Amino acid sequence: MPSLITSSQNPKVRHAARLRDRRYRDRHNESLVEGYRELRLALDSRHPVSHVFYCPALFLGENNDALLDNARLAGARLIETTPAVFAKISYRDRPDGFIGVAGRIGGLLDDLDFDTQAPVLLVAESIEKPGNLGAMLRSADGAAVDAVIVCDRQTDINNPNVIRASVGTIFAMPVVEASTAATISFLKAHAISAVIATPAGETPFWSADYTLPTAIVVGSEQYGVSDAWLDAAGTAVSIPMQGAAESLNVATATSILLYETVRQRGFDAAGNEQPGL
């Protein structure tokens, strides 16, 4: 039976609350997953979830019992809390009554194994803002990329705000961390072409060939991709700007490039491949 916690000083509550700190997450190899949609995707993807804190007084939608049943069947311990205790753990302004304690997200380059001869990867180098990284992961999921490689990270992929901005899609695809040098070597070893987004790129983004095994490479919000990418063999592309700004937000630019891949590879609105397009 689920237990009820009424004290914010409960050790499990204090542990979960401390997982908002990056160093504490790293030490315990755990992350916080807050929100119905995010937790559902974590469970659907069979990501390990050890505990689920829930507060019925905060539920916003339906099917809450089904989510709790799925968590229980997945081996998670269910812990009911009062609103005051839930607020101790939550990092949202308007929580919906679900927080999971999950295993750490992220693997290694050597973990990647593709089921297709022409994979599509997203390489995100030195992204600083959790909201941007999460939005990029959401777009990557929507475009059905085969993996996301986070290079030379500046924000923790286990940051609860990354998970939130991804709406839980971070659990739906392989996400690995690596150095830029190791990633460049990996792409060369697997004959994956790099399409590198940079305002200085001389090739309009629609002129690159995305039908080959392709890695779309984007860089930090302030500085863009590093010189290592510009020196590497690849196609430097730009998105033409018609206004005063020199470039788009990195998450927006990523979405444009990913969906150019979808267009060139010939998929319909339902995601079905259309031969001959």
Domain with 13 in it: what CATH number?
Answer: 3.30.1330.30
Say yes or no: 80 and 25 in one domain.
yes
- Expressed as residue numbers, the domain containing 90 is 3-103
Say yes or no: 132 and 222 in one domain.
yes
Domain final residue, candidates 58, 87, 103: 103
Say yes or no: 87 and 116 in one domain.
no
Cβ 146 vs Cβ 119: under 8 Å = yes
- The string of pLDDT tens digits covering residues 180-236 is 999 999 999 999 999 999 998 999 999 999 999 999 999 999 899 999 999 988 999
Say yes or no: 128 and 257 in one domain.
yes
Say yes or no: 74 and 196 in one domain.
no
Domain final residue, candidates 69, 103, 137: 103
Say yes or no: 25 and 81 in one domain.
yes
* Domain contains 270: no
- The string of pLDDT tens digits covering residues 30-60 is 999 999 999 999 999 999 999 999 999 999 9
> What CATH number should be reported for the domain holding residue 243?
3.40.1280.10
pLDDT at 59: 96
What DSSP letter does each residue of the chain carry, written as one string?
Answer: --EEE--TT-HHHHHHHHTTSHHHHHHHTEEEEESHHHHHHHHHTT--EEEEEE-GGG--SS-HHHHHHHHHHTTPEEEEE-HHHHHHH---SS--SEEEEEEPP-B-GGG---SSSS-EEEEEES---HHHHHHHHHHHHHTT-SEEEEES-SS-TT-HHHHHHTTTGGGSS-EEEE-HHHHHHHHHHTT-EEEEE-TT-SEEGGGS--SSSEEEEE-BTTTBS-HHHHHSSSEEEE----SS-SS--HHHHHHHHHHHHHHHHTB-TTS-B-TT-
- The string of pLDDT tens digits covering residues 66-76 is 999 999 999 99
| Token pair in block for residue 216 | 């779309």
Say yes or no: 69 and 14 in one domain.
yes
Say yes or no: 127 and 55 in one domain.
no
Domain final residue, candidates 103, 138, 161: 103
Domain total for the chain? 2
* Domain contains 66: yes
Say yes or no: 207 and 89 in one domain.
no
